[in-house]
């Protein structure tokens, strides 16, 4: 039995990687993260929209491609390898799934078709359900919402936001509402933007089914965690490849450093630890759509395990480069910081392992 990505999934992923190689070089990333490449960022975003990323998971009846989460994982891996400076995990994975699992028919008709046609874009903030800070949280009452949501992802140029309270009820607010304040947060990861949303008795369209059961928000978070793991795998693989390439060229004491046993061991350890991560993310993606009894546990395990492995890879691949690894000339820090942020988003490894333990009854 063959276990891996299908030809169609590999083809889709390769198209994403090829597009990013052509349109989002390291120099372009520098301009965008430096605040000088807004037009370039829009072009990259539009180019990936043309590939169908916004419609990936949306059912055909709403104008989408109706593909499964494994397709999305393949895409997320490709975006991570190119440190793509565009929204994806929140806007085109978590938001559609939140509406598909939590919305009523009217809400699905209204929002899903507009996501598929790129009429609206979503930011997503569910931290208040996973682990709200003491001074943050959303209160929802009679289709009105007040409070603060932290670490909202994909908020740049978002027209709407999906937010949640501590009970798992999700709702949609309009970014242009006068009672909605969007504050950009400072983050080490400059390839993506993160936001704080402040609500002052703002109108909120509560996703009907999410207020009746926590299943909708659980599915949404599980999908987000798998996507973050896939993104980290893509970034980690690039860091390994760049470390190996550097080790073949850099010379010390008249020999390439790749011939030294210590460097060989570092590269081999990174490759050996990362390789099984592909399987765990693919299996978690498969379970999400096909094995519901294992889906939650596998999502937790993939996020926590990949977070630890990718942290190790980021550290060792930088060490292989020596002092050069810390310079902007090589740009390794873009992948390094992205991996670090992925580790914390939607739950740190410690928090996610605790959830996995509860799933197993520990």
DSSP string, 36-80: --HHHHHHHHHHHHHTTGGGSSS-GGGTS----HHHHHHHHHHHH
215-359: what CATH class?
Answer: mainly alpha
Pick the CATH number of 122-211 from 1.10.357.10, 2.40.110.10, 1.10.260.30, 3.40.50.720: 2.40.110.10
Pick the CATH number of 7-116 from 1.10.357.10, 3.90.1150.10, 1.10.10.10, 1.10.540.10: 1.10.540.10
pLDDT digits (tens, 9 = 90+) for 218-245: 999 999 999 999 999 999 999 999 999 9
> Same topology for domains 7-116 and 215-359, yes or no?
no
* Residue 306 neighbours by CB distance under 10 Å: 31
Question: Residue 251: pLDDT above 60?
Answer: yes
Q: What pLDDT band is residue 2 in, cutting at 50, 70 and 90?
A: low
On average, the pLDDT of the chain sits at 94
Rounded to whole angstroms, the Cα distance separating 257 from 247 reads 5
Distant-in-sequence, close-in-space partners of 69: CB < 8 Å, separation ≥ 6: 57, 93, 223, 226, 285, 288, 289
Q: What dihedral angle (degrees, nearest 10) is formed by the CA atoms of 145, 146, 149, 153?
A: 40
pLDDT at 335: 97
Would you list the domain boundaries of the chain?
A: 7-116, 122-211, 215-359
pTM score, whole prediction: 0.96
Rounded to whole angstroms, the Cα distance separating 71 from 100 reads 17
Q: What pLDDT band is residue 60 in, cutting at 50, 70 and 90?
A: very high
pLDDT digits (tens, 9 = 90+) for 112-156: 999 999 999 999 999 889 877 777 889 999 999 999 999 999 998
């Amino acid at each position: 039995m063959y276990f891996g990505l299908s030809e169609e999934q590999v083809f889709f992923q390769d198209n994403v990687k090829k597009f990013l190689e052509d349109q989002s070089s390291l120099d372009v990333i520098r301009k965008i993260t430096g605040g000088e490449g807004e037009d370039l960022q829009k072009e990259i975003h539009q180019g990936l929209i043309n590939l169908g990323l916004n419609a990936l998971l949306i059912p055909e009846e709403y104008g989408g491609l109706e593909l499964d989460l494994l397709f999305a994982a393949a895409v997320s891996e490709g975006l991570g390898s190119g440190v793509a400076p565009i929204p994806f995990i929140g806007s085109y994975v978590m938001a559609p799934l939140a509406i598909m699992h939590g919305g009523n028919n009217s809400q699905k008709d209204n929002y899903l078709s507009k996501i598929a046609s790129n009429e609206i874009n979503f930011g997503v903030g569910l931290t208040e359900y996973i682990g709200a800070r003491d001074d943050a949280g959303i209160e929802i009452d009679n289709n009105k919402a007040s409070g603060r949501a932290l670490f909202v992802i994909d908020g740049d140029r978002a027209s709407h936001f999906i937010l949640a309270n501590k009970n798992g009820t999700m709702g949609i607010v309009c970014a242009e509402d006068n009672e909605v304040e969007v504050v950009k947060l400072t983050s080490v990861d400059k390839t993506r933007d993160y936001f704080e949303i402040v609500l002052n008795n703002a109108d909120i369209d509560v996703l009907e089914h999410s207020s009746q059961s926590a299943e909708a928000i659980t599915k949404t978070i599980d999908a987000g965690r798998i996507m973050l793991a896939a993104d980290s795998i893509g970034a980690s693989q690039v860091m390994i490849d760049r470390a190996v390439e550097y080790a073949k060229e850099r010379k010390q004491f008249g020999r390439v450093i790749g011939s030294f046993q210590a460097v060989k061991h570092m590269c081999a350890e990174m490759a050996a630890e990362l390789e099984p991560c592909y399987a765990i993310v693919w299996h978690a993606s498969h379970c999400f759509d096909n094995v519901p009894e294992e889906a939650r546990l596998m999502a937790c395990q993939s996020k926590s395990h990949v977070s630890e492995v990718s942290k190790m890879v980021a550290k060792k691949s930088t060490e292989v480069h020596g002092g050069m690894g810390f310079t902007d000339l090589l740009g390794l820090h873009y992948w390094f910081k992205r991996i670090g942020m992925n580790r914390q988003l939607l739950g740190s490894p410690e928090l996610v392992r605790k959830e996995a333990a509860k799933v197993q009854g520990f």
